[in-house]
Amino acid sequence: MSPLLPKSVAGTLHTYSVEPDLTAFEHSTSSPSTSIVLLIPGLNGSLPAVGYATPLAQALDKEGWGLAEVLLSSAGAGWGGGSVKDDAEELAVAVRYFKERQGKDKVVLMGHSTGCQDVIAYSHLLLRSSVRSITATILQAPVSDREPWEAHAKESGLDKEYPSPLIPSPPATLDYFIPPVLSKLCGAKAGITYRRWNSLTAKTESDEVDIEASEDFFSSDNSEARWASAFAPVETKVLVLLSEKDESYGSHVDPRKLLPMFRKALGEERWAEQSRIIEGADHAIEQAPQRKVMIEAVTSFVRTL
């Protein structure tokens, strides 16, 4: 659940798409800026995308950068009926809006949690003429959704009743909703389709990433080839920020082993030197000392762009 919005936050609410009706909240800056970070929340995320959004915006302002929190149609409870491909296509509309309508020369995409999958999926759309290039990429808490579910399902015995992938019984299709007991476990008040559930939780044996079939980009047991495929279209420097105490990790996931996997998949040319494991930090970096470390890493990174 997103933390409560402070009493007031100054900024501009942009309607960057009319059909569907999509908005982004741009934090006020001390002076006009042509550089902006677009922050994309994770599952169930809305406004604020994360508790650190306002202090991050204030720090970026001092560097001459703005921050906008981008809401996709999958924001809040809507993610269960969405897809990472749809998110990426809507994100492309947001990028185009800020570049062409708001005159932003530099656009950085920053994902939080499953927002990181959206950012990577965006790169997979780059071969389409309607998709605009970006300046850089930031992944904060890029975690596997599959691994923690597998661990929980095995411990609770749910894996026997609900094996993965879930196949609906005819006449139901993949666009029908999964049993409510599973939706409630994920806090998905609007339900989850079989298609989205399998995209999030089913292991694929394919080494090639297909954003229409699966968003399993960051699982520690994925093959090296699949890791490479996930990042193959990324054309920018990538800042990777993992949290040491991320509660979204499966019990067997060690971030100290995970970070080198990101680095190898990206290669030195795309790897940002500010990438790190933030010691003691949880998934959304709620603690003030760890939040300061994260913000310093982001501001140091944008100075290089």
pLDDT tens column, 82-95: 999 999 999 999 99
Closest CA to 243 of 59, 145, 149, 112: 112
Count CA within 13 A, CB hemisphere, residue 91.
33
With a cut of 60, say whether residue 27 has pLDDT above it.
Answer: yes
Percentage of the chain surpassing pLDDT 70? 96
Backbone phi and psi for residue 91, each to the nearest 5 degrees, phi listed first: -65, -35
pLDDT of residue 152: 86
Residue 34's pLDDT band (boundaries 50, 70, 90)? very high
Q: Which residue has the higher pLDDT, 49 or 105?
A: 105
What would the DSSP string read from start to end of 8-52? Answer: ---EEEEEEETTTTEEEEEEP-SS--SEEEEEE--TT--SSSSTT
Q: Three-state DSSP class for 70?
A: strand
- What tokens appear for 269 in the block? 């040319």
Q: Three-state DSSP class for 149?
A: helix
> Has residue 282 been placed in a domain?
yes
Question: Which region holds residue 113: left if phi is over 0, alpha if psi is between -120 and 50, else beta?
Answer: left
Percentage of the chain surpassing pLDDT 90? 78
Instruction: Return the minimum-mean-pLDDT range out of 2-11, 209-218, 291-300.
Output: 2-11
> Has residue 16 been placed in a domain?
yes
> Has residue 249 been placed in a domain?
yes
Residue 44's pLDDT band (boundaries 50, 70, 90)? confident
Backbone phi and psi for residue 300, each to the nearest 5 degrees, phi listed first: -65, -40
Tally of structural domains, the chain: 1
> Has residue 160 been placed in a domain?
no
Q: In this structure, are residues 66 and 27 in contact, taking their beta carbons and an 8 Å threshold? A: yes
Number of other CB atoms surrounding residue 209 within 10 Å: 24
Which range in 147-151, 167-171, 278-282 is most confidently predicted, on average pLDDT? 278-282
Q: In this structure, are residues 94 and 16 in contact, taking their beta carbons and an 8 Å threshold? A: yes
- Average pLDDT score over residue span 28-34: 95
Q: Three-state DSSP class for 179?
A: coil
Residue 2's pLDDT band (boundaries 50, 70, 90)? very low
> Has residue 52 been placed in a domain?
yes
Residue 49's pLDDT band (boundaries 50, 70, 90)? confident
With a cut of 80, say whether residue 125 has pLDDT above it.
Answer: yes
- Average pLDDT score over residue span 134-155: 93
DSSP percent split of the chain into helix, strand, coil, nearest 5:
35, 15, 50
> Has residue 137 been placed in a domain?
yes
> Has residue 165 been placed in a domain?
no
> Has residue 188 been placed in a domain?
no
* CA dihedral sign of residues 189, 219, 212, 206: negative
**pTM tops 0.85, yes or no:** yes
Whole-angstrom distance, CA of residue 196 vs CA of residue 85: 11
3-state SS of 90-148?
Answer: HHHHHHHHHHHHCCCCEEEEEEECHHHHHHHHHHHCCCCCCCCCCCEEEEECCCCCHHH
Q: Which residue has the higher pLDDT, 125 or 259?
A: 259
pLDDT of residue 129: 63
Give pLDDT tens digits for 14-26. 999 998 899 999 9
Q: What is the CATH number of the domain that holds 105?
A: 3.40.50.1820
**What is the domain range of residue 291?**
11-144+209-303
pLDDT of residue 1: 41
pLDDT of residue 109: 98
With a cut of 60, say whether residue 45 has pLDDT above it.
Answer: yes
Closest CA to 241 of 226, 259, 265: 259
pLDDT of residue 281: 97
